[in-house]
Structure 1
Amino acid sequence: MGLHRNLWRSWKLEASARMFQAWLGVLLLGLSIAQPAPSPVPCPSGSSPMGLNHAQYQDTPKLDTDLGFMSGVVQSFLHTVQPNPFPKDLVLKAVQHPNTLSDQETIKEFLVYEVGFLVCAAIGILYIVLMPLVGFIMACCRCCGNCGGRMYQQQTSSLHCHRRGLYCCTLITTLILLAGNICMFRSNESLKVSVDHITVEINNTLDNLHTYLISLPKEVDHVLNESYKTVDEVSNSLNAIGPLLGKEIQKALEGPLNAALQSVRVVAQVANSTNVLLGQLNLSLSAVVSRVAVVQANVSAVKDRLNRTLSNPDCAGCTEAQPDLQRLNLDTSLTTPNLGELQSAVDKVNKADLNSKVKEGETFFQNIPQRVTNDTKDAVKSVKKQLEDIKSQISKVTSDIPVSTLSNLAEELGQAMKYVGQYRPETERAERIRWSVFLALCCLVLLVVVCNLMGLLLGPVGLRPKDDPMERSGTSDCGGSFFMIGAGLSFLFSWLFMLLVLVLFLLGGNVYTLVCQPWHNGKLLQLVDTPGLIPGFNLAETLGLQSNLTLTEVYKDCEQDMPLWSTLHLYELINLNDLLNVSKYTEQIQQNFEGNAINLPTITLLTPETRSQLSSFSSMAKDIDISVVTQQINNMSRININTTADKLDSLATWQPNLTIQAELRTEAADLRGIQNDIDTTIIPQLVNLNSTIQALHAIATQVNGTVENVLRKVGTAQDFLNTNTSLIIKNESRRFVDCQMGYFITYADWANMTITQQVGRCGPVARAVDTAEVIVCSYMVESLNAFWFSLGWCMLFFIPSIIFSIKLAKYYRKMDQGDVFENHIAMNHIPRAQVKPY
């Protein structure tokens, strides 16, 4: 019995495994049918055009506050001297009609405009003439003993008051001279620093302009190169139209077609599995039937012998055992369902070779890219020709931009930079000479200041107010001599210094009022914009513009770092929207693709005969009934003749006849042998037979609904292919063309934005003009004006310095003749208070 239970358990496990395999096949079939169609993939984006790499420029100069420390004072003075506005009409008349310079009216206008400078020049000339003349006359007078040449000083009661007053005036004047002299030193040093900066700034400015002129054609070429990249990208897409467009068509057909092919593949696997199971069933059934026949014959032989033994009269108690002998019959009948029709249906399905249908569908699907390539050869060739037309149109955009003259300007700037480098040593040498001369002038003025300061220091130190003028100390006398030396130096050099002041004043003042000031407020550019000022120069006509374009407008746009497109009004020369209008090519390209239709071969997934065979297979599988054979197998599995053998052994123990006893024991052993044969041979075969039948039943019960579902899916896929293939090809072709045109549209938008907003940003040009203004006006003119203003300041205060120092010197110098001061005021004696003694 234990062996029987183990065999029964193994039978159940094997049957469960076969049913699990059958259910797994059905589940895979259902999943293959239920796969959803993939969603359409959006149009892939092409590579975006690269942005412009703007050139790197040198830093522009920033005005040092130390360089313009006196600019406010000097400019206020110049505005006072020249309050008139910029004489635009007078300059135009002088430039356009040079002959009018000798006209009295023109000369009068010029003198009226320059009246402030003329008045200052007249004062300067008067100073230049009178200062040496007065000095010469004073020197002669003093040599003759006049004009303070007589060394005699009258002693009065107000003597000390006069000395203190003159001392204070001389001190204040000397301090003012010292301040002016300090300004001279600073302005001289500022001018030196300015000249040192000028060479570097000029190089930087020219380098920035050179860089700008070189980078501008590169930016235009960059736009052109990006167009070539776009054309090449589209051309590469056309060369790979088979994989690209074919892949999209495959994606559109993939959902229903793959589901149908997968379902057909699974049905073929199910039919093959059914055929294998039917073959296994026939083999198992034959083996069981043949083995059962042998067992049945053995049981019949044992039963006949046992019947003779029990019929023996010597057999004790054998009559009661006859009923058990009658029950010794094996129920070994196996009635299997009629599987012939199912086998015939399966054979027809296998003969239809569903796998070849799947292979045919897969071949159709895989050959779509090659079919697309073959059917679009003419269209691709035509579109490539149109791409060359698009490339030539884009080339016109860049060729129409007037940048051809920039190379000549760049070469000229390069030569200018070389000249700056060549003449830099001469410039530095000339600047050292200029600095040395101006430093000598500063030192001469400082010498006068030092003489005054020494006089102011030594005079009071060595003076004793109560001493006789003839007996004054040498220290006091030395202080008075320093005053005289300072006055003499002032008379000696002041008129020469004033001459230099006059020249620098007329030069620097007029440059400021006629160049720097109008340059700063924009009137100078407005003057240059005057038509006819420069013969043959008209910016609008040079560029071929219809509207008027002035340098003032160009400068203002460049200050805001505007591109050349808007700065030079290039939109009047180039219709950029028309040249970059890609839509005019789109329709023609689409027509070329639509004219070369892609024709995919017709494919039949399942023929009507095959569908009929599958339906027959489904109906045959549905009619299988295994309940009878399962019951028979269960009955055979429950056979147990060991109980009969046990009864025979028990009966043998009560037999007095040893022969009968031996016969009963032999027959009992034979029965146990038969039972052992059943347990070891027939039961495993029954288990195998039952598992095969269960597996066949598991597939058969699902085949009906599964085949119907597969037929429905295949029908849906076939209808989809028949009705939608051409529409899918048309839509995907249009979408492919739209994608390629989208690359051009992206490029056209980028090129439009780049050309109109980024190419040729002229900020470096405006910065170069501003740098030139800083170099000329802030560095050179302001520093030069600060120097002559400081020197003129000192020359102006030389006059009170001479007067006060000469008059103060007599209070400290030793006199040749004495004078006695007598006080004639009557003095009354005031009695003192007397203290009375107590």
Structure 2
Amino acid sequence: MRLPGSLGPLALLLGLELALGRGQMTSQYCGPQGQAEKLQFIGLGKGRWLDPQARPPGSLDPLYRMVRGFLDMVQLNPFPEGLIRVALNEPSLVRTSDVVRYEAGYVVCAVIAGLFLLIVPTVGFCFCCCRFRRRCGGRVKAEHKSMACERGSLMTFLLLITLLLLTGVVCAFITNQRTHEEIGPGVRAVPGVLNSLQGLVSDVPQELQAVAGQFSIPQNQVLEELNGVGANIGSTIHTQLRGTVYPMLASLQRLGQDMQISLDHLYKINSSTAFLQAQQEPLGSSLQDRRQKLLSLLQDAQCQGCASALNHARLLELGANFSQVPSLNSVLQKLKGVPEANFSNMVQKDNSTFNTLPVLTTLEIADTVHELKKEVSQIPEEVRTLSEGFPDSEAADRWRQALAEAENSSRPYLHAIQRYERYRWIAGYVLSSVILLVVICNLLGLSLGLWGISAREDSSHTEAKGEAGAQFLMAGVGLSFIFSGPFILLIFVTFLLGGNIQTLVCRSWESQELYQFADTPGNLPSSMNLSHLLGLKKDISILSAYQQCKEGAALWKVLQLNGSYDPEKHLDINKYTARLREKMRNLEVDMSDLNLLNEAAERDLEAFRNSGIEKIDYPSFLAQVQKPVVQVDILKLVKELEKLGQAQKESALGQQLKQEAQTLQTLYQEKILPQETHVVTLNRSVRALSASSSRLQMVVSETLVNTSFLKTELPNRAHWILRNESECFLNREMSYFSQYMDWARKMVTEHIATCQPLSGALDNSRVILCDLIANPWNAFWFCLAWCTFLLIPSIIFAIKTTKHFRPIRKRLSSTSSEETQLFHIPRVTSLKL
């Protein structure tokens, strides 16, 4: 048997949950699904941006610093603003004395180069003539005690100079190749830089149109999510309400079942009571007749052993008096027609309706979603005019025309630079190779000479090794004299060009003196008015424009545009989003179909609550059902009479006793046993109903209160969930538009309508010219000059060392030449002082 005692706490918990749920309605909560996805937009404006150039640190950095330090000592004068102004405006008025005064350091270097060019080849020519007449150079005439020390010192100094030459020529090879590798890409990058800058202003409207076109990305995302908004909101409502609805429906189903059980018990009590009351009087008459008959038989003097049966017969009368139980008519009258509703079907229908809530929500908000889609599909006026609002500019035409002319006019010069650079590269390799040959000759000469000297200890030696070593050294001397002129000429030309680029251009460019010079009125001719060509605003200098562009300033803040341009005006879509919010707030869901308790069921519960079933006097029923229907055990009395009938000597008396036993048996079967069965039924129903009626009445009352509360609370809570979900959905969709606005704002101000490519192009140009080209160019002539000037001590020590490698010859007569009168002096093992 099911007892509904657990329904009361459950109903209480439901009421508490709903009360807590109402408290949550004051705040908005969006779960993980309320977070917007990250939209991917196509980057724009980078097509005309140049990758920033930078010279990576390398092993040649100390050499570059050394060269720059040397050039700073050569050119101590500051930037010649006045001289360059005169040269640009009136070239004929440039005075040679001013140029010489500014280039004093280079003039000194030119004098040194001229002296080198005059003296070294002249000395070489004289030396060749002298050697041709065999009057200089030659050999050691006689051994002396300090010859070994002198020879060792000469060889050591020559070896050190040769190693320094080797180091210099290796650096010359590296820097010569590095210069060639950097000049080619640097020259080829110039047209690309100029072509990229041509679109700095003119390409802006097209790129702004492309930015406006990408508004379709958040649009499509919102339209896609609008397709499932109804199902999502319905599912959320279903998910958040099912914790309340499902338990309530389950409790209603159990309550209906328990109420039906209680009604069944009530009707059984009523029917059993009516039956017992109807059968009580006939049974009492029959028992009275049987009692009198038995008493007369058992009190007969001939009846043997009838005392016990006589005592039992005296108890043959009714035990319970069912006429004393209370009437149920008033309760039954109030419960007439109950149950009117089918609680099982009602719960099944409510459950089905609740489970179809996502579909119903989708259908109910379909019209509003359609209107939202129409609204979202429209492009805001502000975004559509994003490119149209950018003003046309005469400065853009001047800018594009000037850069196009510069590109066309620079191409012949760039081709010439590449051609002459190839000649310089070949000449550099040839001359560096000559120095390398000198180094090789020195090393071979030293090796063979040292081998020849050590072989003099052997009496069977020849002088070929020492002579070969001397010849190698003299070959190196000859190469040094022959190529000293081309060396110094190449060095001075590259030095003059590279040094002036470093000191006149790169140094002032890095210190921004060039920008200040261009900003000073009158320094540039009218045809080279950079502010006019670049279309800068009148109150902005070139240096200020460069600094602002480097910081990412917008074009309209630097250039003269025909009108103002404010991207924020074109990226303000508040009106557009306000209309979306207004339409989104029109979403409504009708929860009237979800009626947990229909009218019939409500009437049943009201009737049950007002029936007074808990007020029935159940103790009166229990007091009677606890009594036996007959005070004596009829079946036991029947058996006892049957035994007495068999034990009597008087056959007539025994037969009468048996007949009375048979009559009592029949009476038991026909009247007493049915009443006992009804008493058992009455007892079970009374006990069950008395145990459950009070608690069931409390559950019914609480259920009526809770269902009445839910009848208004569920629509309110569903409405709050709808508002919360629609607000979360709206915030998510607005975040897509916010992502677009942030991206568009950044794209317009930092990538499209920005003059930062201009400052980047200037920085790249400086890095390419000064760091990537001028540094290895200057390092090349520096290394070549290093080697060239080291050739002088190399020549001196090579000539002096040569004497010690040749055989020692002795003059035989005063009239004979030392070269023709040969006499080999044997080795000297020791010298006596």
Fold conserved between structures, TM > 0.5:
yes
Q: Unaligned regions of 5+ residues in structure 2, if any?
A: 405-414, 816-833
**8 Å contact from structure 1 (residues 512, 777) kept in 2:** yes
- The Cα shift of 1:657 comes to 0.9
The secondary structure found in structure 1 opposite 2:335 is helix
Match of 2:30 among 40, 43, 56: 43
Q: Which one is further off, 685-694 or 730-739?
A: 730-739
**Whole-Å separation in 2 of the counterparts to 1:128 and 1:53:** 64
Within-5 A mapping of 1:288-687: 302-303=290-291, 306=294, 309-310=297-298, 314-316=302-304, 324-331=312-319, 333-335=321-323, 336-351=325-340, 383-384=372-373, 386-388=375-377, 391=380, 393-394=382-383, 437-446=430-439, 449-450=442-443, 453=446, 457=450, 486-518=476-508, 535=528, 548=540, 575-581=566-572, 583-585=574-576, 588-589=579-580, 614=606, 617-636=609-628, 639=631, 640-645=633-638, 648=641, 651-652=644-645, 655-668=648-661, 671=664, 682-687=675-680
CA-based RMSD: 6.4
Does 2:689 align with 1:696? yes
The secondary structure found in structure 1 opposite 2:621 is helix
Quote the sequence identity (%). 22
- The Cα shift of 1:635 comes to 1.0
**8 Å contact from structure 1 (residues 564, 760) kept in 2:** no
Q: Which one is further off, 705-714 or 682-691?
A: 705-714
1:9 corresponds to: none
User: Residue type of the partner of 1:618?
Assistant: N
**8 Å contact from structure 1 (residues 615, 707) kept in 2:** no
Kindly provide the CA deviation profile for residues 92-143 of structure 1, in whole angstroms up to 9, marking residues without a partner as x. 6545x3xx333333x5433332222222223323332343344445555666
Closer, same or farther: CA 363–786 of 1 in aligned 2, 3 Å: closer
Within-5 A mapping of 1:815-826: none
The secondary structure found in structure 1 opposite 2:77 is coil
**Whole-Å separation in 1 of the counterparts to 2:468 and 2:313:** 175
Closer, same or farther: CA 317–266 of 1 in aligned 2, 3 Å: closer
2:176 corresponds to: 191
The secondary structure found in structure 2 opposite 1:42 is coil
**Whole-Å separation in 1 of the counterparts to 2:538 and 2:362:** 52
Within-5 A mapping of 1:240-255: 242-243=230-231
User: Residue type of the partner of 1:656?
Assistant: K
Q: Which one is further off, 439-448 or 450-459?
A: 450-459
1:823 corresponds to: none
Q: Which one is further off, 278-287 or 590-599?
A: 590-599
Query: Size of the alignment, in residue pairs?
Result: 767
Kindly provide the CA deviation profile for residues 367-391 of structure 1, in whole angstroms up to 9, marking residues without a partner as x. 9888977887776566555545565
Closer, same or farther: CA 716–101 of 1 in aligned 2, 3 Å: same
**Whole-Å separation in 2 of the counterparts to 1:208 and 1:686:** 113
The secondary structure found in structure 2 opposite 1:70 is helix
- The Cα shift of 1:796 comes to 2.7
User: Residue type of the partner of 1:620?
Assistant: G
User: Residue type of the partner of 1:491?
Assistant: F
Closer, same or farther: CA 271–291 of 1 in aligned 2, 3 Å: same
**8 Å contact from structure 1 (residues 483, 806) kept in 2:** yes
- The Cα shift of 1:186 comes to 3.4
**8 Å contact from structure 2 (residues 140, 809) kept in 1:** no
**8 Å contact from structure 1 (residues 652, 665) kept in 2:** yes
**8 Å contact from structure 1 (residues 626, 697) kept in 2:** yes
- The Cα shift of 1:36 comes to 2.9
Closer, same or farther: CA 791–328 of 1 in aligned 2, 3 Å: closer
User: Residue type of the partner of 2:497?
Assistant: L
**Whole-Å separation in 2 of the counterparts to 1:303 and 1:696:** 37
- The Cα shift of 1:485 comes to 5.2
Match of 1:788 among 778, 781, 784: 781
**Whole-Å separation in 2 of the counterparts to 1:714 and 1:522:** 84
Does 2:53 align with 1:71? no
2:407 corresponds to: none
**8 Å contact from structure 1 (residues 397, 574) kept in 2:** no
**Whole-Å separation in 2 of the counterparts to 1:152 and 1:396:** 95
**Whole-Å separation in 2 of the counterparts to 1:203 and 1:289:** 124
**8 Å contact from structure 1 (residues 519, 773) kept in 2:** yes
1:469 corresponds to: none
**Whole-Å separation in 2 of the counterparts to 1:373 and 1:122:** 96
1:124 corresponds to: 113
- The TM-score, its normalising length taken from structure 1, stands at 0.69
Closer, same or farther: CA 737–270 of 1 in aligned 2, 3 Å: same
- The Cα shift of 1:614 comes to 2.0
**Whole-Å separation in 1 of the counterparts to 2:238 and 2:35:** 21
**Whole-Å separation in 2 of the counterparts to 1:539 and 1:550:** 10
1:467 corresponds to: none
**8 Å contact from structure 2 (residues 340, 601) kept in 1:** no
- The Cα shift of 1:690 comes to 1.9
- The Cα shift of 1:611 comes to 6.5
**Whole-Å separation in 1 of the counterparts to 2:556 and 2:725:** 40
Closer, same or farther: CA 90–737 of 1 in aligned 2, 3 Å: farther
Kindly provide the CA deviation profile for residues 389-414 of structure 1, in whole angstroms up to 9, marking residues without a partner as x. 56554465588799xx9xx9xxx9xx
- The Cα shift of 1:236 comes to 5.2
Q: Unaligned regions of 5+ residues in structure 1, if any?
A: 1-16, 413-421, 465-471, 821-838
**8 Å contact from structure 1 (residues 132, 495) kept in 2:** yes
1:172 corresponds to: 157
The secondary structure found in structure 1 opposite 2:628 is helix
Closer, same or farther: CA 170–764 of 1 in aligned 2, 3 Å: farther
The secondary structure found in structure 1 opposite 2:172 is helix
Closer, same or farther: CA 707–133 of 1 in aligned 2, 3 Å: closer
**Whole-Å separation in 2 of the counterparts to 1:22 and 1:588:** 54
The secondary structure found in structure 1 opposite 2:734 is helix
**Whole-Å separation in 2 of the counterparts to 1:126 and 1:516:** 30
- The Cα shift of 1:346 comes to 1.7
Match of 1:110 among 75, 83, 99: 99
- The TM-score, its normalising length taken from structure 2, stands at 0.69
User: Residue type of the partner of 2:680?
Assistant: V
- The Cα shift of 1:188 comes to 0.6
Q: Which one is further off, 441-450 or 120-129?
A: 441-450
User: Residue type of the partner of 1:276?
Assistant: D
**Whole-Å separation in 2 of the counterparts to 1:340 and 1:580:** 81
